[in-house]
Structure formats: C-alpha cells, structure tokens
Amino acid sequence: MTACTICHRPLDPEREQTRHQRCADRLRDNLTELPGLYALMGAVLAPGTAGDRLRVSGTRTAPLPVRLEPLSLRARGGIVTILATWEVDWRDLRGLTEAHRGTSERDLSAIVLWLRAHLPWAIEEHQAIDEFAAGVRDIVRQCRAAAGLLPGMMRIGACPALVGETACEAALYADPMAEEIRCRKCRSCWPKAQWMLLGRTLRADEEMHAA
C-alpha cells in the first residue's frame, strides 16, 4: 500500500497519490509561521517575559541577562541556519543558482518564501521531505514552548503496551499539539489515528482496576 511521503501512513489511492493533503497543509502552515515565531523569540529574550516559567528560590546565582532557549533559536546554527541548509540542498538538487543568505530576520523571510514556492516539488520528489517536515515541526514547537504558547503535558493514564508478558504501566503523557503519544519508558508510540483506540484501552484498564 502506498504511504504518505510526509507521515508514512497509508494513503487512500482513490483520493491521494503521494501525500495526505492535511500533511501538506500542516507543513506549509508551519513553514509560514516561522518568520513570526523568529521575531517573537526576540521579544521573549529577557528573563521574566512570556515563557520564562523557571523560578529557583534561595539561589545566590545572578540570573542570566537573556533567556537561553529563544537565544539559541535565533543564534548561528538556529532557525535561519537550518532552513538555509535546506534551501542549499533543494537548489543543488534542482540545478538552481546558489543564494547568498545572511542570518537576519529578513533573510529568514526570504528563505521561507523560496521554500514555500518550491514546496510542491519537494513533497512530490524530495527523498527526505519527511525529515524536513519533522525539522520544521520541531522548530515550531520549540519556539512556541519558549514563548509559553504550548499547553502543558497531560497525564492520561498508565502505558498499556506489553513489555514481554506484562504491561509497561509507566505514566503516559500527551501533548495535544503533538502528532503522536510516546511512552517515555518503553518508547511505544501511538500516532493521532490511534488516539481514540488508546483512549478506549486506557478507560477499560481504569475500569478493570477500579472493579
């Protein structure tokens, strides 16, 4: 059965040939969001701004003048560098002229604009489009977390996955913004398509233990 080039889940051959439309739309939306998130990282650099929820009482260490999470996302090797590397790769594969990019907010906007223009080709042809989509998604999540925009992780029950002949039963947490739920102990994974089934399993386990 043919699988989506982005999420690797099965496709409906009567509707989609290479990717789920929702996966392509989500990738485009995440990419489009990056310039705004990059600018937001500049606004939350100062300690005490949105997203800076770490508080340590009784310490004699002076606080850092800037927050490290948003700083690292804006620094060399951060958002702009990562996306510029992908642009170089795509241009090389398509035989296009090299672009000379810097690391400014304006450069990021130009890179995103170029990547969006060539996204249809990448989704259909690039062998690592899944890696690109995962990278963009991770950057978006890191930016949202640094800005305090992500909901907290929720404990949803005990992991029902079998480890040998017994259930793992480690505390299982879910992030509503994520594409999957993964056990931190046994590493069992449930993609969004299986969340309803997982919920029924967890409820059945709770009812059994309560009986």
> Can you spell out the DSSP letters for the chain?
--B-TTT-PBP-TTT-SSS-HHHHHHHHHHHHHHHHHHHHHHHT-STTSTT-----TT--SPPPSS-HHHHHHHSTTSHHHHHHHHHHHHHHHHTPPPP---SSHHHHHHHHHHHHHTHHHHHHH-TTHHHHHHHHHHHHHHHHHHTT-SPPPEEEEE---EETTEE---EEEE-TTSSEEE-TTT--EEEGGGHHHHHHHHHHHHHHHH-
Is the separation of the CB atoms in 174 and 153 below 8 Å?
yes
| Residue whose structure tokens are 């450069």 | 107
pLDDT of the chain along its 211 residues, tens only? Answer: 688 888 888 887 767 777 888 889 999 999 998 888 777 766 554 444 444 443 333 444 444 333 445 445 555 557 888 899 999 999 999 999 998 888 788 888 999 999 999 999 999 999 999 999 998 988 888 877 776 665 666 778 889 999 888 889 888 887 766 778 888 888 899 888 888 888 888 888 777 766 5
- Quickly count: other Cβ atoms within 10 Å of residue 183's Cβ: 20
33-71 burial by CB neighbour count: b if 16+ within 10 A, else e? bbbebbebbeebbeeeeebbeeeeeeeeeeeeeebebbb
Is the separation of the CB atoms in 145 and 73 below 8 Å?
no
- Quickly count: other Cβ atoms within 10 Å of residue 187's Cβ: 10
Q: What is the pLDDT of residue 70?
A: 45
Structure tokens at 108: 């990021």
Q: What predicted TM-score, i.e. pTM, was given to this entire model? A: 0.61
